[in-house]
Amino acid sequence: MTNTNKHSFKIIGVIAAVLMLASCASNPPVCSSPQSRNLDSAINSVKSSLNSGCQAQFDRYYDDLLMIAEGDPKPENKRAFSEFLVWSSEQGLLSTRQAQDYYNRYFNVKFMSMRGDYNNCSHTCPNQQKVLFDMERELSDKERGLLKISTDADAYYRADRLYQEVELVLEATCTACAASR
Amino acid sequence: MNPSLAASCAAHTARVRSRRSYVSAITLNLIIAMVITVPAYATNSPTIRLFPTTVVEDLRQTGNVARDMETGLQDVIGRLDQQQQLYQESKCDGAENDTGCQRLARQIGATYLEMLTIMEERLPDMEHTVNNTRISLEKGLRNEIGKKMTPWTLQETLLGTVSATGETSVTAPTLRGRSGMRLSERFKQYYQLVATSGSRGDQSLAVLASDIYLDMEETSTLIERTRQEIARATLMEQLNQSFGIITPEMMEVVGGVKSILFGDEESRALVAGPPPGSLEQAYRSPLEQ
């Protein structure tokens, strides 16, 4: 082998090593979806992915977990989601308020869309249609969380009734508020 | 000290003492009343005042006015039904030039005018009581729910306080859509619901008040429009009397009045039952709000 050839091999080797290192450094973490159909195992897998730099995928993981839980609906699923969200909050992945939103939107009768600090005449009535639209969307999430995942039909029916009551009371109240103007 | 002045002072002191003891008695009564009342409301604080006694009285009065109107119209509508039946059985449809049919048509027209006159006489009373109820409820809803509550507190009020056993207090049935009910029956039911509202939670009161208010709004508009229509229909019928014509509009108006006043059995509205199940939960998340 000539000296030129040896020199060429060395250069190629160096380039290959640099490329390999560069590719390792820029590769994003592999944020694959949980493979297990068991909720507890899936939660553990998601926790490990979230700890490995996949925080940005939180919404997708939460949806994956909801889908897995739908496959094995039972009342205990509610607790599993609550504990997962408390863990996420403790790890700093979510703020307490975000964790509450994620939980209550799916597993509580109360509507997070009805959160507000101002009175109904001044704040809710001007946005009445939007509030009701948001509530309707949240109701379908509650159907998923309460009915399809936690098998808590009573709680879901109460949420459904609450939505209808809010619709009626808001219609009357906003008519009354508008009448004073 | 001057004896008369002393006597006056003594009398004044006695009056002050008497007034104080009177005030104390009132205060004591108030305290006793509060002690008795507070536990009843403690479960649903803050208590909302949507049904002052004036509303209860207005509802009762509206029910009475509606009943009087029904009684007054029952006879005339019964006669109209008989006359229409006779008209159809005599095969007068298409035989308007027949003298007998013309006479029957005029009789129907006269009874129709009688019905319009009775309605014209009774509607102002009805309008007055309905408007009173509507205005009182409007004020209550605006102040108690519109201005004193946020959407979140409204939601909590509607859900009611969950008792230690996890069961919510009983809510009133939702009443929207009572087209098949007699007018006086409807107000009677409202009155009974409101009069016994003390035993209900705020959550059902808010729904009930909203329900009655929206119904009063519709009724009020309907009465106003009916009064305008009556004037027009009376004039038209007076003209028709000279020709002995039965217009389809007449039949329609009579049918409408019958269904409003006496209800329609076929379209009787279903009254919703209590909410299904309780809210008893085995698990309560620390994240739950």
In whole angstroms, what is the distance from residue A99 CA to residue A81 CA? 10
pLDDT of residue B74: 85
Q: Does B102 touch chain A (CB under 8 A)?
A: no
Predicted confidence band of residue A153 (pLDDT cuts 50, 70, 90): very high
Helices (H), A27-95: 39-51, 58-71, 77-90
Q: Which residues from chain B sit within 8 angstroms of residue A116, using beta carbons?
A: 150-152
Rg (C-alpha) for chain B, rounded Å, is 29
DSSP secondary structure letter of residue A95: -
In whole angstroms, what is the distance from residue A16 CA to residue A135 CA? 57
Average pLDDT over chain A reads 90
- The reply to whether residue B158 touches residue A99, judged by beta carbons under 8 angstroms, is no
pLDDT of residue B33: 32
Q: Give SS3 for A110.
A: coil
In whole angstroms, what is the distance from residue B262 CA to residue B180 CA? 8
Angle CA(B93)–CA(B94)–CA(B99) in degrees, nearest 5? 85
- The reply to whether residue B276 touches residue A173, judged by beta carbons under 8 angstroms, is no
Of A76, A107, A120, the CB nearest to B150: A120
- The reply to whether residue A120 touches residue B151, judged by beta carbons under 8 angstroms, is yes
Choice among A73-87, A95-109, B78-92, B191-205 with the minimum mean pLDDT: B191-205
Average pLDDT on B44-53 reads 66
**Residues B188 and B56 sit within 8 Å (Cβ to Cβ):** no
Predicted confidence band of residue B24 (pLDDT cuts 50, 70, 90): very low
Question: To which residue do tokens 């006056």 refer?
Answer: B8
Q: What is the pLDDT of residues A39-53, one digit of tens each?
A: 999 999 999 999 999
Residue B237 Cα, gap to closest chain A Cα (Å): 37
pLDDT(B270) > 80: no
Average pLDDT on B184-193 reads 74
Question: To which residue do tokens 């979510």 refer?
Answer: A94
Which one has a higher pLDDT value, A116 or B6? A116
Average pLDDT on B150-173 reads 66
pLDDT of residue A169: 95
Q: What is the pLDDT of residues A58-91, one digit of tens each?
A: 999 999 999 999 999 999 999 999 999 999 999 9
Number of neighbouring beta carbons within 10 Å of residue B254: 19
pLDDT of residue A155: 96
pLDDT(B237) > 80: no
Residue B112 Cα, gap to closest chain A Cα (Å): 37
Residue A23 Cα, gap to closest chain B Cα (Å): 42
Average pLDDT on B232-237 reads 78
pLDDT of residue B285: 85
Q: Does B255 touch chain A (CB under 8 A)?
A: no
pLDDT of residue B180: 57
pLDDT of residue B246: 62
- For A17, phi then psi, to 5°, come to -65, -45
Choice among A127-141, B118-132, B221-235 with the minimum mean pLDDT: B221-235
Q: Which residues from chain A sit within 8 angstroms of residue B210, using beta carbons?
A: 168-169, 171-173
pLDDT(A106) > 60: yes
Which one has a higher pLDDT value, B107 or A166? A166
pLDDT of residue B101: 86
pLDDT of residue B26: 33
Please identify among residues 107-146 of chain B the ones whose CB lies closer than 8 Å to any CB of chain A: 137-139, 141-142, 145-146
Query: Which of B150, B156, B221 to mutate against chain A (most A CBs within 10 Å)?
Result: B150
**Residues B113 and B235 sit within 8 Å (Cβ to Cβ):** no
Q: Quick one: how far is CA B279 from the chain centroid?
A: 32
pLDDT of residue B13: 42
In whole angstroms, what is the distance from residue A94 CA to residue A84 CA? 11
Q: Respond yes or no on whether ipTM tops 0.90.
A: no
pLDDT(B169) > 70: no
Q: Which of A13-22, B56-65, B190-199 has the highest mean pLDDT?
A: B56-65
Q: Which residues from chain B sit within 8 angstroms of residue A177, using beta carbons?
A: 142, 146
In whole angstroms, what is the distance from residue A89 CA to residue A71 CA? 26
Residue A107, both tokens: 């597993």
pLDDT(A136) > 90: yes
pLDDT(B260) > 80: no
- The reply to whether residue B206 touches residue A169, judged by beta carbons under 8 angstroms, is yes
Of B146, B277, B281, the CB nearest to A121: B146
Average pLDDT on B169-177 reads 47
Percent of chain A with pLDDT strictly greater than 70: 87
Residue A71, both tokens: 């496959």
Average pLDDT on A120-138 reads 96
Residue B180 Cα, gap to closest chain A Cα (Å): 20
Residue A46 Cα, gap to closest chain B Cα (Å): 20
Q: Which of A153-162, B83-92, B169-178, B253-262 has the highest mean pLDDT?
A: A153-162
Of A99, A120, A180, the CB nearest to B149: A120
Average pLDDT on B99-114 reads 85
Average pLDDT over chain B reads 70
In whole angstroms, what is the distance from residue A61 CA to residue B245 CA? 76
pLDDT of residue A40: 96
Q: Which residue of A has its CA nearest to B287?
A: A100
pLDDT(B199) > 70: no
Average pLDDT on B183-195 reads 73
In whole angstroms, what is the distance from residue B260 CA to residue A74 CA? 50
In whole angstroms, what is the distance from residue B236 CA to residue B230 CA? 10
Q: Does B170 touch chain A (CB under 8 A)?
A: no
Amino acid at A23: S
Of B207, B277, B286, the CB nearest to A154: B277
